């Protein structure tokens, strides 16, 4: 993961502007900086080296430098794509991203749909000197962040950047780059390339749960994400999602490291061979539920476990910086991102540069506690699809920006394309939760060796359970709750002291657009506009809220739902 920035057809001083933009995303790429100016076009890159660390500096160019590419992300199927090239290609680096350049030369924008990974990239095509062209793309779900900016006085100019802050002072129109799309300056339009059959919320799948397929697809998703040439680990909260990813990662790393050669030649398995012992990381207030659970899981899995605690005051002191890096004022995202932001700094100081994380499971399987209130299986499924559509505005944004604030990369196996294809095509009746059926029971069963319908062979059962049963069947605990129940309470009290009743009563006048409904939301909005005062910066912010029309609480905390064991 890195930081990218590009300007197509810039109207001003390219030398002065490129340096200012690079400085704003230096945190995303602490390992190297690169920039190419071609006429009035700028292509820049701030590098976090994970793969191809010896030769992977960017921007990347072809032989005659008519194609210039900057990429933020990881291409897990790069070896397979390299083998599919029809023309001999002279690779200049060992980077997994360079294959985009050569495939684009052969098949143009069709390369977007061929990539398996998380990515944002911009490519300047100067093969026709009279008509230079920029093409940019973002991964299917929006795991990586990307923004597009324009200036009304110069409609022919396009800005593309990993973060909003690069565009804040220059553009009066800023939009989030839509996931699953590419942009082509040849027609000035966005084009959707990601069109899975499950994408339309109105299409209700009818296939029964195939537990073996789910298990194999998630295992494959974790395996391919072990691609690295640097120390890596797992974020372990002790909840189902992170514990399951950790368990699979430990198993796959052990299997790969003890095998003479990769049994999947197209997958880059260097990470597991270089660093077979898994490191796990957890964070919370002293005595937090997540710390206790994570400790138990780490002992069960045999990871090298690192436990970090923070105080409420340390968390409050970080809020302004967190909002600056997140570039959102969404309450749920700020609450959950603060401990992740603090933990990421500790992880980076330990020399680790990449971690696996469990984002996406709750959207795919309806894991949030408010899903218990779904009025029907149909509505349950539609909400799952809608939540996956919006992941780039919340959990993906948090996982990307809270970690990349310190130059740490987070990978999310639950959002693997093949896994999504398997999981999102399961009939909603098999995902429903109720008083008698725990949320996400479907994925719990898939990894429960005692569940007869999971399709485990005798040999697989003999390998033992993936997790202790009380972890595999632990109730959903949202990250902002699990780090310590007093965390959210302290945030509310802090906001109540800083925002007066009179200010709150006049919130609609102060913030006519997307008016905050609580003092906590008011405070975050106020801090956001101190960092990003331009009205254009509001366009990309989306607030995460439960479905109050289902009769549940509007408070995004899981503890606000009556189904929670520790409901308030």
Tell me how far apart the alpha carbons of residues 271 and 360 are, in angstroms, rounded to a whole number: 23
| 294 CB burial (10 A radius; 0-12, 13-18, 19+) | buried
The pair of structure tokens assigned to 179 is 């996931």
Write out the DSSP string of 52-92. STTT--SSEE-TTS-EEEEEEEEETTHHHHHHH-SS-----
DSSP structure class, residue 178: P
Tell me how far apart the alpha carbons of residues 204 and 207 are, in angstroms, rounded to a whole number: 10
Whether a cis peptide bond, with omega within 30° of 0, leads into 59 is: yes
20: Cβ contacts below 8 Å, ≥ 6 apart: none
Tell me how far apart the alpha carbons of residues 134 and 124 are, in angstroms, rounded to a whole number: 5
Tell me how far apart the alpha carbons of residues 333 and 545 are, in angstroms, rounded to a whole number: 11
174: Cβ contacts below 8 Å, ≥ 6 apart: 147, 148, 149, 150, 164, 167, 168, 534, 536, 537, 539, 540
Write out the DSSP string of 301-357. HT-EEEEEE--HHHHHHHHHHHHHHHT---HHHHHHHHHHHHHHHHHHHTT--EEE-
Instruction: Please tell me which residue in 2, 35, 112, 552 is annotated as part of the active site.
Output: 2
**CB of 41 closer than 8 Å to CB of 8:** yes
Any idea what the Cα angle at residue 326 is, between residues 502 and 148, rounded to 5°? 110
Q: Would the annotation count 235 as a binding residue?
A: yes
Q: Would the annotation count 357 as a binding residue?
A: yes
Is residue 2 among the annotated active site residues?
Answer: yes
For 11-66, where are the E strands, in sequence order? 32-38, 41-47, 60-61
Tell me how far apart the alpha carbons of residues 356 and 235 are, in angstroms, rounded to a whole number: 6
Tell me how far apart the alpha carbons of residues 202 and 172 are, in angstroms, rounded to a whole number: 36
- Which is it for the CA torsion 553, 557, 562, 567, positive or negative? negative
Helical (H) or strand (E) element with 509: helix 507-510
3-state secondary structure of 195: coil
Any idea what the Cα angle at residue 30 is, between residues 24 and 36, rounded to 5°? 65
Any idea what the Cα angle at residue 2 is, between residues 481 and 96, rounded to 5°? 115
Q: What is the 3-state composition of the chain as percent helix, strand, coil, each rounded to the nearest 5?
A: 45, 15, 40
Using DSSP bridges, classify how beta strands 67-75 and 60-61 pair: parallel, antiparallel or unpaired: antiparallel
Q: How many CB atoms lie within 10 A of CB 549?
A: 9
Using DSSP bridges, classify how beta strands 189-192 and 304-309 pair: parallel, antiparallel or unpaired: unpaired
317: Cβ contacts below 8 Å, ≥ 6 apart: none
**Binding-site residue set for L-glutamine:** 96
Binding residues for ATP: 235, 283, 357-358
Residue ranges of the binding site: 96, 235, 283, 357-358
Residues serving a catalytic function are 2
């Amino acid at each position: 993961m890195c930081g990218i920035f590009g300007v197509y057809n810039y109207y001003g001083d390219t030398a002065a502007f490129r340096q200012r933009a690079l400085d704003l995303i230096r945190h995303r790429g602490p390992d190297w900086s690169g920039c190419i100016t071609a006429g009035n076009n700028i292509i820049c890159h701030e590098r976090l080296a994970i793969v191809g660390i010896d030769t992977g500096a960017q921007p990347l160019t072809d032989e005659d430098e008519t194609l210039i590419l900057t990429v933020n992300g990881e291409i897990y199927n790069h070896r397979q794509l390299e083998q599919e090239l029809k023309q001999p290609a002279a690779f200049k680096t060992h980077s997994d991203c360079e294959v985009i350049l050569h495939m684009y030369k052969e098949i143009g924008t069709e390369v977007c749909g061929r990539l398996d990974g998380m990515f944002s990239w911009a490519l300047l095509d100067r093969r026709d000197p009279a008509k230079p062209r920029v093409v940019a793309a973002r991964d299917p779900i929006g795991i990586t962040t990307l923004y597009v900016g324009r200036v009304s006085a110069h409609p022919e100019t396009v800005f593309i950047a990993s973060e909003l802050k690069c565009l804040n002072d220059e553009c009066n129109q800023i939009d989030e780059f839509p996931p699953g799309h590419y942009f082509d300056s040849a027609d000035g339009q966005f084009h959707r390339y990601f069109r899975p059959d499950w994408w339309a919320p109105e299409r209700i799948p009818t296939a029964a749960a195939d537990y073996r397929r789910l298990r194999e697809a998630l295992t494959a998703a974790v395996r391919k994400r072990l691609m690295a040439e640097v120390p890596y680990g797992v974020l372990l909260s002790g909840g189902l999602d992170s514990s399951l990813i950790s368990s699979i990662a430990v198993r796959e790393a052990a299997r790969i490291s003890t095998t003479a050669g990769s049994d999947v030649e197209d997958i880059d398995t260097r990470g597991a061979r270089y660093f077979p012992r898994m490191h796990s990381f957890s964070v919370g207030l002293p005595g937090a539920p997540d710390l206790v659970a994570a400790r138990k899981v780490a002992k069960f899995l045999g990871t090298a476990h690192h436990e970090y605690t923070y105080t409420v005051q340390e968390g409050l002191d970080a809020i302004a910086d967190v909002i600056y890096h997140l570039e959102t004022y969404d309450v749920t995202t700020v609450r959950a991102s603060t401990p992740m932001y603090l933990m990421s700094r500790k992880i980076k100081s330990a020399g680790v540069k990449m971690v696996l994380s469990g984002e996406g499971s709750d959207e795919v399987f309806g894991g949030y506690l408010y899903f218990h209130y779904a009025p029907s299986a149909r509505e349950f499924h539609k909400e799952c699809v809608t939540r996956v559509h919006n992941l780039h505005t919340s959990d993906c944004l948090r996982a990307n920006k809270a970690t990349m604030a310190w130059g740490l990369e987070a990978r999310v196996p639950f959002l693997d394309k093949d896994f999504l294809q398997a999981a999102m095509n399961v009939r909603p009746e098999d995902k429903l939760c109720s008083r008698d059926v725990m949320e996400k029971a479907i994925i719990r069963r898939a990894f429960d060796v005692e569940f007869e319908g999971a399709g485990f062979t005798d040999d697989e059962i003999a390998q033992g359970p993936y997790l202790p049963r009380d972890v595999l069947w632990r109730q959903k605990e949202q990250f902002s709750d699990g780090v310590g129940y007093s965390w959210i309470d302290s945030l509310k009290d802090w906001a109540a002291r800083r925002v007066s009743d009179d200010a709150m009563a006049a919130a609609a006048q102060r913030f006519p657009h997307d008016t905050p409904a609580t003092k906590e939301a008011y405070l975050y909005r106020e801090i956001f506009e101190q960092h990003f005062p331009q009205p254009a910066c509001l366009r990309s912010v989306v607030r995460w809220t439960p479905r109050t029309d289902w009769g549940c609480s509007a408070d995004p905390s899981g503890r606000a739902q009556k189904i929670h064991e520790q409901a308030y």
